[in-house]
Amino acid sequence: MYIVFEGIDGAGKSTQIQMLKEWLEANGFRVETLVEPTDSEVGKLIRRILQRHDAQTDSVQKTLGLLFAADRMLIMDKLNDESKIILSDRSFISSLAYQEPAEWIEVLNRYAKKPDLLLLLDLDVKKSVARTSGEDTFENEEFLTKVKANYLDLVEKYEHQIIDANNGVNKVSSDIKKAVAPYLGICPDCIR
């Protein structure tokens, strides 16, 4: 099963993937976690380009669109490993939420694997800025508001659950467990 976590920075993806991984392993499942961009050569290049002072210009954004698509093409086989539950921090859906134009991003990601379950960690934009201490000047409130709205539209195309990420860590974690449980034959009422 390929479970994708999406949401703006600070939504709690890294935190919640770790918590869900531990819980699933305690329940006897084999779990693999992934982060996009990956640690491949292309992923490293993406991270470097994201640091550039001109990262927000149209030409660099389009370059990033190409590189993100290439980076995830490299991990395609990993995603089809049926012996494990794969928890992925971001996916092609991030490209669709963050980058333009949509039709072109869709073409680039035509062969990207669709999630079996998409968990959108939906966070208020002001909280994102506070949790990340506004470290990334590009991800200002106006931009994040657009990304958040894009996400809420995009999730409708996939099997998904929207998780209220404004709550405390433990409440978010138990909401995620309840969302995932039915797909894995775990009784949802057995979760705290």
Ligand X SMILES: Nc1ncnc2c1ncn2[C@@H]1O[C@H](COP(=O)(O)OP(=O)(O)O)[C@@H](O)[C@H]1O
Residue 31 makes contact with ligand X by CB under 6 A: no
Residue 7's binding partner out of Mg ion, ligand X, none, with CB under 5 to 8 Å set by partner kind = ligand X
Q: How many residues bind ligand X (CB under 6 A)?
A: 13
Let me know: does 144 contact 138? Beta carbons within 8 Å. Answer: no
CA distance 138 to 165: 22
Which of Mg ion, ligand X, none does residue 15 bind (CB under 5 to 8 Å by kind)?
Answer: ligand X
Identify each DSSP E strand in the chain by its residue range: 2-6, 31-35, 85-89, 117-122, 160-164
56 is a site residue for Mg ion (CB under 5 A): no
9 near ligand X, rule: CB under 6 A: yes
**106-121 per-residue burial string, b: 16 or more CB within 10 A, e: under 16:** eebbeebbebebbbbb
* Least distance to ligand X, CB of residue 153, Å: 20
Toward Mg ion, which CB reaches closer, 90 or 108?
Answer: 90
With contacts defined by CB under 6 A, name the span among 7-15, 39-47, 66-74, 153-161 that binds ligand X.
7-15
Q: Which does 28 bind (CB under 5 to 8 A by kind): Mg ion, ligand X, none?
A: none
User: Is 131 one of the binding residues for ligand X (CB under 6 A)?
Assistant: yes
User: Does residue 84 contact residue 32 with C-beta atoms inside 8 Å?
Assistant: yes
Q: Using the rule CB under 6 A, is 7 a contact of ligand X?
A: yes
How close are the terminal C-alpha atoms of the chain, in Å? 23
Q: In this structure, what DSSP letter does residue 74 have?
A: H
The only residue of 2, 5, 14, 123 in contact with Mg ion, by rule CB under 5 A: 14
Q: Which residues pair with 161 in a beta bridge?
A: 119
Site map 153..182 versus ligand X, x via CB under 6 A: --------------xxx--x----------
Q: Does 21 interact with ligand X (rule: CB under 6 A)?
A: no
| Burial of residue 103 (number of CB atoms within 10 Å: 0-12, 13-18, 19+) | exposed
Is residue 27 at the binding interface for Mg ion, with CB under 5 A as the rule? no
Separation of alpha carbons 75 and 130, rounded Å: 33
Interacting residue ranges for Mg ion, rule: CB under 5 A: 13-14
Interacting residue ranges for ligand X, rule: CB under 6 A: 7, 9-15, 131, 167-169, 172
